[in-house]
Amino acid sequence: MGLFDGIGAILAGLSEWIFNNDAWMLADALRQHGPSLWVLGFLVVLFGGLGVMALNRAVPFVEKYLEPTVMVISYLAIGLIIFAGVIQRFYLSGQPPWSTTLPPFLFLIMTWVGCSYNVKLRTHLAFAEFRTAMKPGGQIACLVLDAVLWLGFAWIVVVTTMQETVNAASNFRFMAGTDNVMQWWFLISVPLAFVLLSGRVFENLFTDLKNYRTGNTLIEQAVIGGDT
């Protein structure tokens, strides 16, 4: 079967999962059509990232607050669950079994959404001290290379983690210590976070190309925890 047939099978399986809550067909399609999955993953990163960039430009509130809000809520939830678990373990009848399994999944969300936020702030792959000594041509070459690397990382992560997410859904994996909380509800945050990250990559890339054409400063000192 060709690439387009494989993409069609994957999309049919996705439709079955969305509308009938049955991920088995999609999991089977992903196993049988690996090359098509990589092509589809590339398109998701490309057009998903451009869509995220367009959304951020159209809705400044989302652009400014989405990632920090998700990170803060996840962090506070982790802290609250751990604190309550300690109190329950030593002073009450015992902690709920999910109190040791839910925080790692929340940390997963916080970490990868935080990665997108730090790409926005350029605190990843910065090397500012080295790059500021380069001529503008060398600087823009490094910045374009950054974008290519990030998009490549996003492509790999979206494809591989989507496979794991679908496998978890098709096998009805519950979070340990629970009876009705599915693992894929949390695992799907990883490919979504990297689509969000790809949007930040495109924003930075277009800004860098514009600055290069207009002769503006290309490399600025990044500050962890700062904002732009």
Q: Closest Cα partner for 17 from 186, 172, 160?
A: 172
How many CB atoms sit inside 10 A of residue 29's CB?
22
Q: How many domains does the chain have?
A: 1
Q: What is the dihedral of CA 167, 40, 38, 33, to 10 degrees?
A: 60
Residue-wise pLDDT tens digits, 10-34:
999 999 999 988 899 999 999 999 8
Query: pLDDT value at position 191?
Result: 96
Q: Closest Cα partner for 71 from 119, 114, 120, 104?
A: 114
Q: Which two tokens stand for residue 135?
A: 């001529």
Residue-wise pLDDT tens digits, 163-212:
999 999 999 999 888 888 899 999 999 999 999 999 999 999 999 999 88
Q: Classify residue 222: in a domain, yes or no.
A: no
DSSP 8-class letter at 176 = T
Residue-wise pLDDT tens digits, 34-87:
899 999 999 999 999 999 999 999 999 999 999 999 999 999 999 999 998 888
Tokens 């002073």 correspond to 91
Please state the pTM of the whole predicted model: 0.90
Q: Classify residue 220: in a domain, yes or no.
A: no
In Å, how far from its chain's centre is CA 170? 22
**182: β partners:** 174
DSSP-based three-state secondary structure for 158? helix
Alpha carbons 208 and 55: distance in angstroms, whole number: 19
Q: Classify residue 108: in a domain, yes or no.
A: yes
Domain containing 38 equals 3-214
